[in-house]
Structures are given as structure tokens and as C-alpha cells.
Amino acid sequence: MKIKSRFWVWIACGLLAVATGAGAEQDLTLSGLVDATAVEGKIAESLARVEHAQTRQAQIDAEISGLLARREEAEGRLHERARALYRVRRAGMLPVAGGFDALMAHLARVQRLSRMVKNDLDTMTHLEERGAALRSEKNELAEALEEAQVLLRALEAKKQELEHSRRSAALFEETLRGQPQAAPREEAMSYGRIRVSGDMDDLGEGFAQMRGQLALPVQGSMRIGESSREGAPGLEFYGRPGGPVRAAADGKVAFARNYGAYGLMVILDHGGSFYTVYGGLGTTDVQVGDWVGMSTRLGTLDTGAPDAILFFEIRRGTRPLDARSWLGL
């Protein structure tokens, strides 16, 4: 059927020749997004783009389906009219014997069939061009949809990252204000941790008397330097990658998780609003709620760099103290 249709299209083209004589993407730098509200706004925009692309894809599919039906109808009409035109052109001499009226009627019929065939050809050309344009748009939409979905996933991940950072920052501030994280179940206790008798106030009184006598958090460290994290002064201890990090004094684990510039961090509550901070860990051996004794291992130094660095602070509430004097350095 398709071969016949093409044959009659070619015949029609020949007969007609005898009868007639011849969209800018906006860039998004995820690293520049530091506000959860801004990220949520970008997520809403991406969702709208995805929804628009999917809706337009459905519209294109429906229109392409309609074009196929219209093309089949146009091919059928062209087939019949081209055959009729072919028969008329092959009829031989003009019907001069029938008089002038018969001659004019014959010429009119030839012209009418020619116009019909030309219109059918134009219609098929238009349908083919429209179909090609729709398929091209659909391909572009597929690429845009994929890009929008990739961006949407990146934005969702960025949102989770910002929310995690916000929760960590809130927990950090709450810890230093005497509102530590919720402790895990009691059975989380393990070897190497001790339960300190008495309450935190009693523990704090003992800590206050230990100025200059605290244990070094990285024993055997040959390099100690002053540094800061988020504007808070402290000390950096350079040690062996993967080496142990130990508690400077008896205390209770009040914070144990990643937080901002501190990285993986443990905060010990020593009572009386005294805290010691251990940042830049590679691993932790303790959980929130654990009681530990002086020099108990809290975790290990990072192994991802040639020089493993522990950042150490001492605080009274949110106020940093002089770590050197408390360690007797």
C-alpha cells in the first residue's frame, strides 16, 4: 500500500509539473546557595519546569498521533485523485467533437483535479514538516527534562545538606548552653568508658580546680599551634594519622557528630558549664550520654591527610577559654 501511495505521489508531482509548467537557561551555582529558603525557591522553579516539560511532552504525543491519522487520510485522498488525474491525462485527444462546452468542461476538470492533488501534496508536506518539528521539540524537551531532573536532585541534596548543617549548628549552640543531645540507651556503654559518680555540678567543681593539669588530647604530639574555628580560638595538635584522641578530663559526651568547620567532633561536658571540644576527628568511639574518664580514647585522628590535626577548645558555656593555660603549656 505504501509503495502504491508513493508511486501515485510521484505521478501526481509529474502531472502537476505538466499542468503548472514548474529558546536561554539560567545558570545556578549550587555552591552559592547558603539559605534553605532560596534552595526551596529553586526547587519549586525546577518542579514547575519538570511539570511543564512533562505536560508539553504529553501534548506533543497527542498531536503526533493526530498527525498520523490525518496523514493517512491525506494519502488516501491523494491516491484516488492522482489516479483520476492520471486517467484524464491519458485519455488522449481533447473532446473537440463534443463542442466547446465539452472542451471547457474537460479543461476545468483537469485544473480542478490538479488543484486538489496540489493541495493534498501541500497538506502532506505540511504534516511531515509539522511532525518533524514536533519530534525535534520532543527530543529537546527530553534533554531539558533530564537536565531539570538532575538539577532537582542536586537541589534536594543541597537542601538536606543545609538542613543537616542547620541542625548541627543548633545542637552545637544548645550543647554549649547546657542543652545537650538526647542520650542513647544505657546498653550503649562499652569497655573503656566509666560512669562518674555524683552530679554535673560536683564534676564541674573538680574541673575548675584542674587548671594547668588537664591531659593532652593527643599524647606525644610534637607540634602544637594556635588556630581558630568559626572565630573561636583554640589549639591545633599535629599527630599520627589514625592515632588516638583522648579526653582531657572526666566528663560526659554531650555532642558527637559532624559540624561545619569543625568536621567530625566530640564535645565533653565537665559540669559547671565547662566543655572541651575535639574537632577534626577521623572516627569516634563514644556516643552522646557516655561517661568517660581522663585520657579515655574518644576516637582517632583523620587518616585522609599526611598531617593529622586535632582542633581543641575549652569553653565556659559559649565563651572560649585559654586552652594553653588549662593544659599547662
Q: What is the pLDDT of residues 126-172, one digit of tens each?
A: 888 888 888 888 888 888 888 888 888 888 877 777 777 777 777 77
Average the pLDDT over 37-44 and give the result.
77
Residue 233 φ/ψ, nearest 5 degrees: -75, 150
Query: Exposed, middle or buried by CB within 10 Å (0-12, 13-18, 19+), for 306?
Result: exposed
Which residue did the predictor score with more confidence, 70 or 174?
70
Q: Cell numbers at residue 146, please?
A: 533530564
Which residue did the predictor score with more confidence, 33 or 38?
38
| pLDDT of the residue at 267 | 92
Q: Cell numbers at residue 258, please?
A: 559532624
> pLDDT class for 185, splitting at 50, 70, 90?
very low
Whether 229 contacts 311, CB under 8 Å = yes
Q: What is the pLDDT of residues 81-124, one digit of tens each?
A: 878 777 777 765 555 566 677 777 777 777 887 888 888 888 88
| pLDDT of the residue at 55 | 86
| pLDDT of the residue at 1 | 46
| pLDDT of the residue at 200 | 59
Q: How many Å is the Cα radius of gyration of the chain? A: 41
Q: What is the pLDDT of residues 275-299, one digit of tens each?
A: 999 999 999 999 988 999 988 999 9
Average the pLDDT over 65-74 and give the result.
85
| pLDDT of the residue at 246 | 93
Q: In angstroms, what CA-CA distances link 64 with 16, 50, 60?
A: 29, 21, 6
**CA gap 252, 266 in Å, rounded:** 10
| pLDDT of the residue at 179 | 57
| pLDDT of the residue at 144 | 82
Domains belonging to the chain, first-starting first, are 2-173 (1.10.287), 186-327 (2.70.70.10)
DSSP letter assigned to residue 30: G
> Half-sphere exposure of residue 266, counting CA atoms within 13 Å on the CB side?
30
Bridge-based pairing state of the strands 308-316 and 274-284: antiparallel
Model-wide pTM > 0.75: no
Whether the CA torsion 271, 273, 276, 278 is positive or negative: it is positive
Residue 42 φ/ψ, nearest 5 degrees: -65, -35
